[in-house]
Amino acid sequence: MTNSGQCRIGFLWSPLLETFDFGRKHPIRVGRFKLLRDFVDEVGFLDLPNVEVITPELLSEDLLKTIHSEEYIAKVQQISETGIGDIDIDTPGFRNIYFNSRIVSGASVTGIKSVQSGLVDHFVSPTGGFHHAKFGAGGGFCIFNDIAACVYELKNQGIKRVLIADFDVHHGNGTQTYFYNDPEVMQISFHEDPEWMFPHDGYIQDIGEGSGRGYNINMPFPMDSGDAVYRYAFDELIPPLVDSYQPEFIIFIPGFDAHYKDRLAHLTLTTDMIRYIASTIHDFAHEYSSGKLGVVTGGGYHHESLCWGLGTVMSVLSGLDFEPPPQQPPFDDNEETWEEVKNNVALVKDLIFPIFNL
């Protein structure tokens, strides 16, 4: 186990992260990022000698042009100037959306640069994880794909093995399209079954193409899956894959919206599972990546469970004790859930493990 108290953590923050307006009825509301910043401050994380607040920079135009088409960027700019039009049916446009999208995605890339420069070992951003945005389109509350931008920033710095460990309850369909044939990026996504969950993508059979075959791993879960089956799948799949890949940098989306209190999904995890995942990923970072680890929040649409999740991750990385209140999911994993999860894990193994001689 890693001595977390010796890890240097950069927490990305600026009031400019709040310069958005999806509307009062949208799940992403103004005050979301300040809520998280204030929470980690109240718990005491920002007072720690090994935690530094870092001001995010705008996503560079060069990176933006790498990850998105000229036509799509122009569309966002036009909406930004006029306030008229939407990114997608679930992602309303607003004035200055271009600036806000560059600062919230730029926060992730700023974190990458802070780790790569040696300023910190890990970064944590209260925003980021916009994994639904694609080269020519946004959607799913995502305008610019910061995960893709982070990977290209790392590639520009000579990193050859990036692990995207994505535990958001929604599949990262956008990010998958960028690196589907790229062996320099391993994407592992644990998400709710795409049969009924947005974005209705991320099937087990989607394992990558060409030289990237085997480097795209999707593990879907039936609704009502809880800590027990999730940990089983995690233990069966994650350690062998990470041990085989030995990443040089890990980008981690903890999956706060997989919590049983979250209102946009149907999994029933607790922060016990988030702590287990974060601890394991943290140890992998120190074992293989010289500690290089970036955390972006991704989803999470219940204020309490979102704060508990971020507090749990910050606790793992920083060494400061934090225990959320006792939690009790509405039910335990039943026999049918166990059977489906075990079948899915077996199918993932059958498709992926032989490629890596596991």
**Overall size of the chain counted in residues:** 358
Judged against a pLDDT cut of 70, whether residue 45 lies above it is answered with yes
Instruction: For 77-95, write each residue's pLDDT tens digit.
Output: 999 999 889 888 878 888 8
Q: At 29, is the pLDDT very low, low, confident or very high (cuts 50, 70, 90)?
A: low
Give the chain's domains with CATH numbers: 4-356 (3.40.800.20)
User: Which among 192, 212, 141, 213 is positioned nearest to 203, based on CA atoms?
Assistant: 192
Q: What is the Cα Rg of the chain in Å?
A: 19
Instruction: Give CA–CA dist 179/112, Å, rounded.
Output: 18
Instruction: For 217-247, write each residue's pLDDT tens digit.
Output: 999 999 999 999 999 999 999 999 999 999 9
Q: Judge contact between 227 and 273, C-beta under 8 A.
A: yes
Cα 61–chain centre separation: 23
Q: Judge contact between 147 and 108, C-beta under 8 A.
A: yes
Instruction: For 180-208, write each residue's pLDDT tens digit.
Output: 999 999 999 999 999 989 889 999 999 99
Q: Which residue has the tokens 């120190």?
A: 286
| Residues 6 or more apart whose Cβ sits within 8 Å of residue 53 | 10, 11, 12, 13, 46
Catalytic residues: 132
Instruction: Give CA–CA dist 252/123, Å, rounded.
Output: 10
Instruction: Give CA–CA dist 102/96, Å, rounded.
Output: 10
Instruction: Give CA–CA dist 217/214, Å, rounded.
Output: 7
Question: The whole model's pTM is what?
Answer: 0.96
